[in-house]
Each structure stands twice: as structure tokens, then as C-alpha cells.
Amino acid sequence: MQPKFLRAIQEQEGTRLGSNDVIPYDLRVISASNRSLRAEVAAGRFREDLFYRLFSVEIVVPPLRERAADIVPLATTFLRDVCRRFSKTIPGFTPALLAQLESYEWLGNVRQLLREVERLVALSPEGQQLTTEHCSPELGRVAQLLSERSNVVSTDINLPDQVQALEIRLIQHALSEANGNKVRTAAILGITRQGLHKKMKRYGLDGRPPRWRFALDVDIARRYARATPRCNIPDLTCVFAFS
């Protein structure tokens, strides 16, 4: 499969299965891999010439467990999409559930978070916030740990630091809800636009919704491609957008 894919990229042409007619291609390639392709090339499992044909602009996306600040914006986006698909109205997440989502390791990355939101929406009553009650068993264990920690008295609690962390998280959440619109963000937070501007300046926030950083996750990138025929080769998933 890899030689045929290389020809399609390099020669901008190919043939359909069972046909000898050569078809010219005019395409762009967005590709993603959950493995290091450099290591796969060194191990002989991935063609070196194909690697350098694909290697134009590389964006390394860390695993979700290393991007805790982006969990809430992503979960909010998924909630809106899932509610639309399930024809349900869910006003949002409880603070306890948000803390639980941010504390989980997410070994399955963005897809696991999406599946968790789907589960929560499916099991939660119409018109009520999502709570920890309907979480998967994996997240339930996180809730138990958080509860145990909350019962431990700590001498290292610094109130200004805790307030700052909470304000940053709430501002980022509101920015995501408002798609970066400052007026709507201020209204969601119940403060003036000038007050929002001062807080964002104080905390070094740029005002862009964090979720757009992940447009190159394959499942999300497909939404922005004008056509989405998929081509699977070992350890690589490609999305084509024909111009």
C-alpha cells in the first residue's frame, strides 16, 4: 500500500482498483500518527521516501494528560455537538465533574474524552447539568481520590493562588463558550468588559478559545476538509481534501 500511496503523492496520479486508466490528482494531505514515524523508519516498518514526501509541516500535539488546561474547552465543545446529535438540552457540567475531568489521565486522549461526554449525555436527565453520578468506572475512581484529598488538611494552601487558578479556568471556559467573543464572555462571567480585559491582561490570556489548537486531530480535521475519503496504511491515518 505504501508504494501506491507514494506514487499518488509524488506523481499526482494513480489508477483505480481493476482499471488501467491513469487519473490525475490535485490534493492536499493532512496526516496524523500516534507513533514516531522517525522511529518506524529506523525500524524498517515505514518507507523513508514516503516519510520525507509527507514531512512538510510537522505539528507535535502532546497527549491530553499533558494539556489539562484544554480539557474543559474540549469537553464543552463535545457537549454542544453531542447534545445536537442526541437532541437533548444539557446546561453544562457541575464544578465537581469539571475537577474530575481535569484530574483524569486520559490514556485514550481526545477520543476517550468524547466517549465520556457521550456517555454522560446519554445517561443524564434532560435539562440537568452533567454530574459525577453517571461517570464511567475509571472516572469514578478519580472522584474517590479527590474526595479523600479534600478531607486532608493542608498547610500549603495559598488563597490568592487558588483564587487566581480558579479565575483563569473560569475565564478560559467562558471564552470557549463564547467562541472568543469578549462581550459574551464578560456576560457569561457576570463582569464588565473592562473588568474582563484587566483580568486577561493580568493573567496573560490571549483571548483565543484553546480548542482550536487541536484542529489537526484527525477526527476534528475531517470537519474542515471539503472531501473526506480515508486511506489507511500501517500506523498512519490520512485525510484528503481535494481542491
Q: What is the CATH number of the domain that holds 138?
A: 1.10.8.60
Per-residue pLDDT of 161-185, as tens digits, reads 777 878 888 888 888 777 788 888 8
- Could you tell me the pLDDT band of residue 126, with boundaries at 50, 70 and 90? very high
167 with 231, same domain: the answer is no
147 with 169, same domain: the answer is no
Q: Which of 105, 128, 152 is the last residue of a domain?
A: 152
What's the pLDDT score for residue 152?
A: 47
pLDDT greater at residue 223 or residue 187: 187
Provide the whole-model pTM.
Answer: 0.52
Instruction: Return the minimum-mean-pLDDT range out of 1-15, 72-86, 212-226.
Output: 212-226
Averaged pLDDT, 42-55: 84
119 pLDDT higher than 90: yes
74 with 117, same domain: the answer is yes
Q: Which of 45-54, 86-95, 141-150, 232-241 has the highest mean pLDDT?
A: 86-95
135 pLDDT higher than 60: yes
Q: Which of 152, 171, 202 is the last residue of a domain?
A: 152
What's the pLDDT score for residue 168?
A: 84
What's the pLDDT score for residue 12?
A: 76
How many structural domains comprise the chain?
3
127 with 172, same domain: the answer is no
Residue ranges making up the domain that contains 209: 160-213
224 with 207, same domain: the answer is no
What's the pLDDT score for residue 238?
A: 40
230 with 204, same domain: the answer is no
pLDDT greater at residue 215 or residue 162: 162
Q: Which of 121, 152, 183 is the last residue of a domain?
A: 152
CATH no. for residue 49? 3.40.50.300
234 pLDDT higher than 70: no
138 with 209, same domain: the answer is no
For the chain, the three-class secondary structure string (H helix, E strand, C coil) is CHHHHHHHHHCCEEECCCCCCEEECCEEEEEECCCCHHHHHHCCCCCHHHHHHHCCCCCCCCCHHHCHHHHHHHHHHHHHHHHHHHCCCCCCECHHHHHHHHHCCCCCHHHHHHHHHHHHHHHCCCCCCECHHHCCHHHHHHHHHHHHHHCCCCCCCCHHHHHHHHHHHHHHHHHHHCCCCHHHHHHHHCCCHHHHHHHHHHHCCCCCCHHHHHCCCHHHHHHHCCCCCEEEECCEEEEEEEC
